[in-house]
Structures are given as C-alpha cells and as structure tokens.
Chain A
Amino acid sequence: MSILDAPATGPGSPSPPDALRRTTWRRLWGDRGSRTALVAAALLILIALTAPLLSRLGGWSPTAFDADAIDPYLGGLPHGALGGISAEHWLGVEPVTGRDLFARVVHGAQVSLLIAFAATAIVVATGTAAGIAAGYFGGRVDTVLSRLMDLTMSFPSLIFMIAMMSVAQDVNRVVLMTVVIGVFGWPGIARVVRAEALSLRHREFVEAARACGSGPWRILTRQVLPNISGPVIAYTTLLIPGMISTEAALSFLGVGVRPPTPSWGQMIAEAVAYYETDPMYFIVPSVFLFVAVLAFTVLGDALRDILDPQGGRP
C-alpha cells in the first residue's frame, strides 16, 4: 500500500512501532465506513496497476476504434441502449470513435492515480523537508521558508497551473502535470510539520539526544521524523483526493495529458456535451472519479482520527 511507504518515512528512518501499526490497522478495519473506503481504494489501485491486463480481458485496447458500434448518421452515437453496453463492450463505447469505455476508464485510472500519487509524493517530500527545517532550525531558515510558504499560498494556483500547462508544448505531459500540481501543494503540509517540529525541538528526548552529541541529521531522522510520521501519513492521505480532483480539473479544461492517453477528467470533459444524448458516456468516468475521491477522503479522515486526534489540521 502506497500510504504506508510514503516517502516522508523514506530510507534510513525507522518505521513507526509495530504496535501502533497494528492498532491503526485494527481500527481502520473495524469501522464499516473506513473498511469500505479501504477496499474501494485498494481496488482502484489494483485496477490502475492491471489496466493493460483488464482491457485485454475485455477484448479492446483503449485506442482501438469500433466503427460498427456507432451510428455515423446520428453524429456517431453508440448503437443500442445505455451507450452501447453489450457483451462486447462492458461499459459501452465512446460516441464518434466507438472506442471501448471499459478499456479507457481503467487506463484512465492509471493516469489519474499515477499523477495524483506522484504529485502527492512531491508535496509530502518537499513539505516535510521544508517544515522540519523551518521548525527545527528556526531563526533565519524559518523566516525565509515561512515567507516562501506565504508567497506560494498567495499564488492563484489553479489559474497559474492552467497557464503553465498551456505554455509548455514539447514536454512529457504526465511529468509536467505532476510537477505543476506538486509545486503549489507543499506549504500546507509544511506548516503542519513545522508546528510539530517546533514543539518537538525542546522535548526531553530530543534534548537528550543532542546532549549525547548526535548531529542534527541523526536527530532529525531518528528522533523528529518518526514522531511526526503520524500526522504526515494522515495528511498525505487527505491530500490524495485533492490531487485527483486537480488532475481531473486540469484535464477537464483541456490542459492535461495528451490524447490518445485517456484520463478521467478528459473523458468527462468530452462527455459533458453528451449528458443528454448519451448519459452513460458521461456517468461512467464521473462515477470512477467520484468513488476515487470519496474513498481517499473517507480513508484520510479515518487515519487522521486515529493517528492525529487533535490538531495537525491545515
């Protein structure tokens, strides 16, 4: 599970005690809501990982046209009811091209989740590093980093992301999108981490380690990081739905990944016009997007309640 190997607790740092991990798991699994969310999230990740396999099972590649499945005389609307759902096309087809919706939506999961997770990783890595540095070292480092956080938060992020995405032409869109989304997300988590690190700085065990002659790097990785990993994990999970939504929004506005790569936001953008003439085309990717955002939100809420019962709220 990607939640538990988030880069914040990267190589070299000890994992949270086994006991905590076990209670966390027990409490997550014990609640019906978070259990459902966990299963849904796991399923979506599984779908994303096995997308090529799944679409081969369905018999269609996400880019293959099927001229027989659509009616060119009606603007390319699918033949048959419910957007052309049939034994051949499990979730129907895309109007005009006749491409298989099932194949596209599972490949879309791949793109959407990949970008969301990668952007989250960037945000968490940068945010945690900046937050610890600001909180632990204080002084000038804190001033500079805090100003930088203020500045980043003052950027009209969505507008800026759209502008940046439309400026860049000859770049890998997935990488660019990940970076652009990541660049604007870090101050939130940095503030949370900073507050935690600030309070840890003068705690006895940190003072003790310092007295024993441990260097700052050792103290940061051995003492501070493990103690803030709880809030970081909770916050990370809560970041994911926002990232999924942002990716979808950018793709929806037409500045996302390039075709023929499918992504949910892009599929919805194309389907919006068909909400009346081919509602299934609109509903299928919307449901996937909805479930993904919902599952990670519920999961994040539950993790926060367990790992960080008070505070740590952005």
Chain B
Amino acid sequence: MIAYLIRRILGVAGVLLAICAVTFTIFYLLPADPAAAACGKTCSPERLAEVRHFMGLDQPVWRQFGDYLVGIFAGRELGSGPHAIQCGFPCLGYSYENALPVWDLLMDRLPVSVSLAFGAACLWLVLGLGAGVTAALRKGGLLDRTLMVGAVATASLPVYFTAVMLLYGLVRLTGLLPYPAYVALTDDPFAWAANLLLPWVALALLYAAMYARQSRSSMIETMEQPYIRTARAKGLPARTVVVKHGLRSAMTPVLTLFGMDLGALLAGAVITESIFGIPGVGRLFYDALQRSDQPVVLGVTLLAAFFIVAANVVIDLLYAVVDPRVRN
C-alpha cells in the first residue's frame, strides 16, 4: 500500500511538472508585455527596460522557469537590493498588478470558490443521484421518462442561460433572494448561504442533470448483473438488494466522475463566478487575463491542475482500500 502511495505521488509530481512546463512555455510566447502594462501611459524605452529587468522578463525562458520552480519549494527574492520583494514558500510568482504574491491572492479567493463548489456539489449529488436511482428502479415507467426528458433538457441549457433566468425569477421579480455577493461563512453563516444559494442552484442544475443520466444507466447495468439476480432469488428484501448490493457498485463510475468535476470546480467556476460577480478564483483568473497578469494566470492553472490530480488520487486511494487488486 505504501509503495503504491509513493508511486502515485511521484506520478502526480510528474504530471504537475509537465503542466507547469507547458503552461509556462505558452505564456512565454504571449505577445502582451506585462512590463509595458505596469509602466503606464507614457513610458520611455529606458524606463521600460528597467521595469522589464526588475520583473525578470529580460532573462531567458529556461532561467525564468528554473527560478519559478525553485521558488515553489524554497521561496525566492524578486529583484535585488533595496527594491527586492520577498516571496515566501510556496512562491507561485508575484503579481505586480496586485502587489501581492500569487499564493496570497489564491488563498484569499479560494474560500469563495470552495464554498461555491461544495455547496453546489452537495445539491447536485442529492438531486442527481436521487433522480437517477429513482428513474433506474422504475425503468420504462412514466416517472423514469419524465425525469430523463427533464435531465436531457436541463443538461442542454447553458449555465449562463439558467443563471440569468434564476436571477430574473428569484431576485428581480420576486425578491426572494438577495443579489449574489460573497459573505464569508465565518462572518454570517446565514447570509453566506442566502447569497450563494442562487449560484449553487444554477451550477448544480447542470451537473445534477448529467449525474442523473450517468447514475441511471450505471444503476440499470448493475441491477441486471447475475449477482443481483442471485441476491433477489435468495429472497433478500428489495431494499437491501438495492442499497447494499446495487448502489455500492453502481456508484463507482459516478464517484470517479465526481472527483474530476469537483476538482475542476474547486479552482473556480469561471462562467458562474463572472455572471454573478462572485470574487472567487475563477473571477481572479478572468480579471488576470484581461490585465495580462501572467503570474496569476499561471498560478490558477497550476492550482486547478493540482485539484484535478489530487481528486484523482483520492478517488484511486479509496478504490485501493476497497479493492486490493488495484494496487498492482
């Protein structure tokens, strides 16, 4: 088990390094010059060169990449002499636009995105799995057909359409919910939930529809397996058969999917955050793009990759605990 764990973690490090390298290369080709943006409206060539030097943009790409990698583990000092900026471990670069280390910015926004992702995930798991399993157990019936038509239709609606319709119905017309704005959980749990309810629902509807479809087909497949028929034949109560034998193995593919989806969402739901004006990681990313704040863009990309890979590992470890064959 320990050997498996080490192997997996080494694999993760390799994947992250590769993503880091690819992203870095692409951004090095970026025509926008962050130094020119920092230098302002009227900027002389000499001054621009000074700014470029200060930001380290006059170094060759491999050197910049090397410094970046070292910085992640050891922290680094940007610039030199009295101008130097300290960027402590783990240094994911420094945003000159925001005058903050990228890590600080990410940690400031992360609670927002995590609140959004977990709330939505709870909703969509309950809604999606509930609808999927119900439909599977009544396969071919009216309820099944209704649920599945609803799921296909909902999954076909773009999240920005659902979001705007919900905003119109629940906020503009009826005033049931406040305009979404982020309130920290620790400040006021009630306001936190009330403000996030709208984005949760908008995001969860889309995923719930996909999960309903996925869990339905997975459940139907499982319920047709011989061992389920055996369990039934043995005279086990229907409830036990469905919950203990059916659900457990039917949920395996759904769980894999869930890990990936949640991982991707933790690092920001760009569209949802930008529609509702929620200051999460996705919004940070989008703003950084507009201002060509490359260190932030790179940082968010890495964070997102990290979450996806980490979610994968967690899911795999869960499997490995349950099923020893996986370890080899």
Contacts and interface: CB of A to CB of B under 8 A. Distances in A.
A298 B152 contact: yes
Interface in B10-63: 11, 15, 18-19, 23, 26-27, 29-31
A286 B158 contact: yes
Given A167-B27, A169-B31, A276-B172, A159 B267 contact: yes
Given A159-B268, A160-B301, A297 B274 contact: no
A275 interface: yes
A160 B30 CA distance: 14
Interface stretch (B76-84, B160-168, B183-191, B320-328): B160-168
A303 interface: no
A194 B297 CA distance: 34
8 contacts: A153-B260, A248-B158, A252-B271, A253-B271, A286-B161, A290-B157, A294-B152, A294-B153
A136 interface: no
A49 B312 CA distance: 42
B247 interface: no
A266 B264 CA distance: 24
A143 B221 CA distance: 30
Chain A interface SS verdict (over half): helix
A2 interface: no
A159 B304 CA distance: 8
Contacts of A298: 152
Nearest to B297: A163
Contact of B19 (A155, A164, A286): A155
Nearest to B260: A153
Contact of B300 (A153, A159, A249, A294): A159
A290 B156 contact: yes
Interface in A51-88: none
Given A252-B271, A286-B158, A310-B221, A167 B30 contact: yes
B53 to A, nearest CB: 23
B170 interface: no
Contacts of B156: 241, 290, 293-294, 297
Given A153-B260, A289-B161, 6 more contacts: A154-B308, A155-B305, A164-B26, A272-B164, A290-B161, A297-B155
A223 B15 CA distance: 35
B231 interface: no
Nearest to B288: A163
Contacts of B264: 156, 158
Nearest to A170: B31
Interface of A: 150-151, 153-156, 158-160, 162-164, 166-167, 169, 241, 245, 248-249, 252-253, 265, 268-269, 272, 275-276, 282, 286, 289-290, 293-294, 297-298, 301, 310, 313
Interface string B280-301: 0000011001000000010011
Nearest to B263: A156
A302 to B, nearest CB: 11
Nearest to A163: B297
Nearest to B221: A310
Interface string B124-140: 00000000000000000
A164 B14 CA distance: 22
A294 B268 CA distance: 26
B contact face: mostly helix, strand, loop, or mixed? helix
B270 interface: yes
B270 A253 contact: yes
A276 B11 CA distance: 50
B275 interface: yes
Nearest to A37: B152
Contacts of B195: none
B309 interface: yes
A159 B301 contact: yes
A64 B108 CA distance: 47
A275 B275 CA distance: 13
A282 B158 CA distance: 13
A310 B218 CA distance: 11
Nearest to B257: A314
Nearest to A169: B31
- Nearest 8 A/B pairs, CB to CB: A156-B304, A294-B156, A293-B156, A286-B161, A154-B309, A275-B164, A166-B289, A167-B30
A156 B155 contact: no
Nearest to B22: A155
A241 B27 CA distance: 30
Contact of A272 (B268, B270, B275): B275
Contacts of B15: 150-151, 154
A190 B260 CA distance: 18
Contact of B270 (A155, A159, A269, A297): A159
B225 to A, nearest CB: 11
A301 B149 CA distance: 12
A290 B153 CA distance: 8
Contact of B29 (A153, A167, A245, A289): A167
Contacts of B285: 159, 162
A268 B158 contact: yes
A241 B270 CA distance: 20
B274 A253 contact: yes
